[in-house]
Chain A
Amino acid sequence: MVAYAVRRVLLIIPTLLLVTIIVFLLVRLIPGNVVDLLLDEMYGLTGGSSGGAASVGSTGITIDRAEIERRLGLDIPVHIQYGRWIGVLRTPDARTGELAFNGIFQGNLGTSIRTHLDMTEEIMSRFPVTFELGLLAVLTANLIAIPVGIYSAIRQDTWLDYLGRSFSILSLATPAFWLATILIVYGARYLNWSPEVEYVPFSENPIENLKIMIIPAVLVGTAMSGGVMRFLRTITLEVLRQDYVRTAWAKGLTEKVIILRHALRNALIPLVTIFAPQVGLLIGGSVIMERIFVLPGMGQYMLRTLLERDYWVVSGANLIFAVFTMLLVLVTDFSYAYLDPRIRYK
C-alpha cells in the first residue's frame, strides 16, 4: 500500500508541470491580444485614433503601446513569461526594476490585467460558491442515481425499471440551460418568483444561502444522475452475473441476502472512481448555471475573464481547478485502492 501511495504521489509532479504548461500555452495562444482590446477601450473612451504612440483626443495623454506591453510583462518572449509566471525566473519589480522571484512557486498567482488586483482573493471568494453548488449537485445526483440504478439492475426489464431509467435519462437529456430558462421566465410570470440577485454566503445565513442554491443544484444534480445511474446499473448487472453470485444462488441464499451482502458491496466500490469525473463535469455545468442564476462563482469568473483575455487570471484559475481535480483524483484512487485489495497488489 505504501509503495502504491508513493508511486502515485511521485507521478503527480510531472503531471502538474504539464498542467501548468498546457494552461499557460492554451490561454496565450488565443487570438485577440489583450493589449489591443485595452487600447480599443481606451481610445473609445477618449475618442482618439489608434496607432502606435499617439496623443489622444482632448486629454493630451499619450498612449504608448510598447509601454503598456512592458508594464504588463507581455513584451518578452513567451517562454520567459512562462518562467516568470511559474517563479523560476526573476521578474523585475514594476517600480524599482529590481529583479526578484515572484511566481507560483512563491505563492503568487498573479494580478488581473483589468483590475490590477491580486486575483487570489477574488478566486478564494468565488471558489466556495462553485464548490457548494457542486457538492449539493453531486449529493442530489447520487441520492437519485443509487436507488434507481440498483433497482434497475436487480429488476431488469420490469416496468419500474423502465420508468426509473426513463426518468433518469430524460433528466440527462433535458438541457439544463433550457430548463433553467423556462423555469425562470414562467416562475416570474406565474409564481411571482425570480432568483435572488444578491448572493448570500453560507457562513452569513445558511438558510438563505440554501434557498438560493437549491434550485440550480437540483437541476444540475438531476441531470447528472442519469450518467451515474447508468454506470451503477451496468456495474451491478455485471456483478450479478459473476460466478460467485451464481454460487450464492446455487447455495440457496435468498435474493435479499445475495444482494445486500455480496452484490452491492462489489457494485458500489467502482462508484468511487467516477466521483472525480463527476466533479469535473459539474464545473462545466456550473458555468451555465452561474450565468443564469447570477451566482458569483468560478465558472462565471473564468468565462468573463476568458472573454476579456485576462491572461494571468484565466491561467491561474484553471490551474487552481486542475490542482483541485488532481487532488480529488488522488484521494479517490487511494480510497479505491483501500477498498479493492486487488489494485494494491498489482
Chain B
Amino acid sequence: MSQATGALAGELEETRRGSALVNFVKRLFREKPLGAVGGVIVLVMLLTGILADVIAPYGYKEVHPIDRFSPPSTQYLLGTDSLGRDVLSRVIYGARISMIVGLAATVLSTVVSTSIGLTSGYLGGKFDIVVQRFVDAWLCFPGLVIYLLLMSLIGAGMLQMILVLGIAGGISASRGPRSFAFWIKESVYVEATKAIGASTWRILGRHLLPNILPLVIVGFSIGVGGVILAEASLSFLGFGIPPPFPSWGQMIGGPARYQMERAPWIILWPGVALTLAVYGVNMFGDAVRDLVDPRLRGGVGGLGGRGMEQARKALKNRLAKAEKDRQKVDIG
C-alpha cells in the first residue's frame, strides 16, 4: 500500500513539462486511440481541402462528355459522373467545401451562442426573460425545416449557408452557455470580483469567457460534424450549395439517385467521404472532451480524468516503475 502512495505522491510532485499543446497530443495518442484516429482523419480532410488544387487530378468542373458514366479505371480513379466529370476530383474539392462551411458556420454559431447565452444568463432578470422567449420560440421549429425556410428566403450559396447554419444554429445552442453563466454567477470569485467593483464587461470578458473555453472547445469540435451533415442534407434536397460546386450532399442528390444502377460510384464515394469526415470529427471531439472538460477531471484517485481501466493500467505501471526504482536503490 505504501508503494502505491509513494508512486502517486511521485506523480503529484512531477510538474508537467512542455507546452500544453504538445502534452495534449501526447495524451491523445496514448490514452484515446479512437480519438487519435479521428484526429488523423480531420487532419487529412483539412489538408485535402487546402491542397485540393494540387492533389486533384482534374478540375471539379472539367467535363469529358465522351467518358460519361465510365467506371473506376486508371484514368478516372473513382469513375466519372453524368457529365463526364472525374468523381475523385469532385470528392477532393468537396472536402474543401465541407471544411469551409463546417468551420466557418461553427465559428459563427459559437460566437452567437456564447454572446447570447452568456449575456442572457449573466444579466438575468427582464433581459433574460425577453431573450429567452425569443430563443424558446425559435427552438420550437424543427431544425431542417427552419433551415429550409431560411435558405428559401436568402437563396442558395455557400455564404448564405454559412450565415444560416451559423446564426440559426447559434440561437439554438445558446442554452448551454446560458446555464453555464447561471452556474458561475454564484461562484465565490465572481462575487469577489463584483465586490471589488469590477464592471460587468470586465467580469464577462475576464472571468466568464476564459472559464467557458473548455466547454466551447468541446461544443465546437462536435458542432462541426453536425454542420457538415446539415449542409449535406440541405444540398441533397437542393437547398444548399448549387451545382456545379461539388458539395458531397449535392453529389448524392439530384439526378444521380436515378442513375444509381448504372453508375453507383457517383453516389458511393461522396457518401463514404461524408461518413468518414463526420465520424472523424465526432471521435476527435469526444476525445477532446474527455481530455479537456473540467467536469470530467478528478477521476479515480490522483490519476487524472481516466476511467477505471486506464486507471488500473496506469496504477500498475506506476507500481512497476516504483518497484524498479526501489530495486535500483537497493542494489546501488
Band of interface residues on A: 35 or more
Q: How far is the CA of A138 from the CA of B270 in the complex (A)?
A: 28
User: Chain A: which residue is nearest B258 at the CB level?
Assistant: A185
| B133/A15 in contact, CB under 8 A | yes
**Main secondary structure on A side of the interface with B:** helix
Partner of B278, one of A32, A172, A322: A172
Query: Does B274 have its Cβ within 8 Å of any Cβ on chain A?
Result: yes
User: Chain A: which residue is nearest B274 at the CB level?
Assistant: A175
| B299/A241 in contact, CB under 8 A | yes
Q: Which residues of B contact A179 (CB under 8 A)?
A: 271
| A181/B267 in contact, CB under 8 A | yes
Residue-wise, chain B 121-134 has the 8 Å CB interface mask toward A (1 for contact) of 00000000100011
| B309/A157 in contact, CB under 8 A | yes
Query: Does B112 have its Cβ within 8 Å of any Cβ on chain A?
Result: no
| A285/B144 in contact, CB under 8 A | yes
Band of interface residues on B: 35 or more
- Shortest C-beta distance, A237 to chain B (Å), equals 6
Q: Which residues of A contact B296 (CB under 8 A)?
A: 234, 237-238, 241
Q: How far is the CA of A11 from the CA of B147 in the complex (A)?
A: 26
Query: Does B229 have its Cβ within 8 Å of any Cβ on chain A?
Result: yes
Q: Which residues of B contact A280 (CB under 8 A)?
A: 139, 141-143
Query: Does A170 have its Cβ within 8 Å of any Cβ on chain B?
Result: yes
| B145/A182 in contact, CB under 8 A | no
Partner of B282, one of A154, A226, A323: A226
Residue-wise, chain A 317-334 has the 8 Å CB interface mask toward B (1 for contact) of 010011101100100000
- CB-contacts of A1-43 with B (<8 A): 11, 14-16, 18-19, 22-23, 26-27, 29-32
Q: Which residues of A contact B279 (CB under 8 A)?
A: 169-170, 173
Known: A174-B275, A321-B145. A241 touches B298 (CB 8 A): yes
Stretch from B30-38, B47-55, B76-84, B190-198 forming part of the interface with A: B30-38
- CB-contacts of A286-343 with B (<8 A): 287-288, 291, 299, 302-303, 306, 314, 318, 321-323, 325-326, 329
| B148/A306 in contact, CB under 8 A | yes
- Shortest C-beta distance, B242 to chain A (Å), equals 15
Query: Does A84 have its Cβ within 8 Å of any Cβ on chain B?
Result: no
| A306/B152 in contact, CB under 8 A | yes
Q: Which residues of A contact B268 (CB under 8 A)?
A: 182
| A238/B295 in contact, CB under 8 A | yes
Partner of A302, one of B134, B145, B150: B145
| A182/B271 in contact, CB under 8 A | yes
Partner of B252, one of A22, A181, A284: A181
Stretch from B15-23, B87-95, B230-238 forming part of the interface with A: B230-238
Query: Does A158 have its Cβ within 8 Å of any Cβ on chain B?
Result: yes
Query: Does B257 have its Cβ within 8 Å of any Cβ on chain A?
Result: yes
| A157/B310 in contact, CB under 8 A | yes
Query: Does A345 have its Cβ within 8 Å of any Cβ on chain B?
Result: no
Query: Does B249 have its Cβ within 8 Å of any Cβ on chain A?
Result: yes
Query: Does B66 have its Cβ within 8 Å of any Cβ on chain A?
Result: no
User: Chain B: which residue is nearest A28 at the CB level?
Assistant: B153
Q: Which residues of A contact B289 (CB under 8 A)?
A: 234
Chain A CB count within 10 A is highest, among B31, B249, B275, for B275
Q: How far is the CA of A26 from the CA of B295 in the complex (A)?
A: 40
| Contacts A/B (CB < 8 Å), 25 sampled | A15-B140, A22-B141, A26-B149, A26-B153, A30-B149, A153-B307, A154-B308, A155-B309, A157-B307, A158-B309, A173-B225, A173-B282, A175-B271, A175-B275, A181-B257, A238-B296, A241-B297, A241-B299, A277-B139, A284-B233, A288-B233, A303-B148, A322-B137, A323-B140, A325-B141
Q: Which 8 residue pairs are nearest across A and B when measured between Cβ atoms?
A: A156-B307, A284-B144, A283-B142, A173-B278, A178-B271, A322-B140, A18-B137, A173-B279
B-binding residues in A (CB < 8 A): 11, 14-16, 18-19, 22-23, 26-27, 29-32, 153-158, 162, 165-166, 169-170, 172-175, 177-179, 181-182, 185, 189, 226, 230, 234, 237-238, 241, 277, 280-285, 287-288, 291, 299, 302-303, 306, 314, 318, 321-323, 325-326, 329
17 further interface pairs, Cβ-Cβ under 8 Å (given A32-B152, A178-B267, A182-B267): A15-B133, A18-B136, A156-B307, A173-B225, A173-B279, A174-B275, A175-B236, A175-B252, A181-B267, A234-B293, A241-B296, A241-B298, A280-B139, A280-B143, A325-B140, A326-B136, A329-B139
A-binding residues in B (CB < 8 A): 31-34, 129, 133-134, 136-145, 147-150, 152-153, 155, 222, 225, 229, 232-233, 236-237, 249, 252-253, 257, 260-261, 264, 267-268, 270-271, 274-279, 282-283, 286, 289-290, 293, 295-299, 305-310
